[in-house]
Amino acid sequence: MRIAITREVSPRIGDCELAHLARVPIDLDTARAQHRQYEECLAALGCRIHRLPAEPSLPDSVFVEDTAVVLDELAIIARPGAASRRGETGAPAEMLRAYRRLTYIEQPGTLDGGDVLRIGKRLLVGLSSRSNEAGVEQMRRLAGPFGYSVESVRVKGCLHLKSAVTQVAESTLLVNPKWVDTGAFEGMELVDVDPREPFGGNALLVGDTVVYPISYPATRRRLEERGIVVKAVDVAELGKAEGGVTCCSLIFSA
């Protein structure tokens, strides 16, 4: 059984943290409607949705991916790089406790789940404005005993590693090569985003289907031309808060 932990959109999402986008108004009703449609898409792909309630004091809390990294053997509870987001981890951790042994990233480490790309037993961790070397080293210590390799990857020009690169098939990655050194992905087939769609590198692989924003049609065509099955969703309002399709869920096998 595949579980997807989600969290309802905070009424204060307009006060979200921003690093690379200018602040523009976010329509709360539209954001919530798009989030519900996103959840419906995950459910149609076989996920059982576990929804956490909205948290008015935590504007970014819909982006639940950043709170944890869920592996087969344990869950690593993150320590977000933005101090304002550190209160987000408690509720997801309590929900994860029913499924995994919990471990924690501790000071001085910082780690956002959006910086962790898992490819089998490889964990690629972005060194970004939100995740640091100490966080990477702690992750190596926690995951290494279970056979995972942990490699750091320098990120530039975007918020998280998974803003720049995500997995779209067993041996295929979607990547914006301007934001990450593609040398880190040796042995994988790479699909570049369309240059006109620099934010198009964030895709969510669920089983054999890629959940992907409708905002990037040229990049979507590149995926479909390679035989990748794509399910398009509208998350444009959440994108104003620097969110993507991976950000809004923690997906793992029960």
Range of the domain at 202: 2-253
Distance CA 95, CA 34 (A): 24
pLDDT tens digits, residue range 222-250?
Answer: 999 999 999 999 999 999 999 999 999 99
Query: pLDDT at position 108, please?
Result: 98
Q: Which residue has the tokens 């933005």?
A: 82
Which SS3 state, helix, strand or coil, does residue 140 take?
helix
Tokens of 138: 């702690």
Mention every residue, 6+ apart, whose C-beta is less than 8 A from residue 42. Answer: 4, 6, 49, 206, 211, 249, 251
- Of 4, 6, 5, 13, whose CA–CA distance to 239 is shortest? 13
The DSSP bridge pattern shows strands 209-213 and 204-206 to be: antiparallel
Query: pLDDT at position 117, please?
Result: 98
Overall domain count for the chain: 1
Query: pLDDT at position 143, please?
Result: 98
What distance, in Å, lies between the first and last C-alpha atoms of the chain?
5
User: Residue 42 sits in a domain of what CATH number?
Assistant: 3.75.10.10
pLDDT tens digits, residue range 136-177?
Answer: 999 999 999 999 999 999 999 999 999 999 999 999 999 999
What ranges in the chain are assigned the alpha helix state H? 28-44, 90-96, 133-143, 161-164, 217-224, 236-239
Q: Which of 41, 47, 158, 247 is catalytic?
A: 247
Tell me the whole-structure pTM to 2 decimals.
Answer: 0.97
Task: Give pLDDT < 70 ranges for the chain.
Answer: none
Catalytic-residue membership of 160: yes
Query: pLDDT at position 203, please?
Result: 98
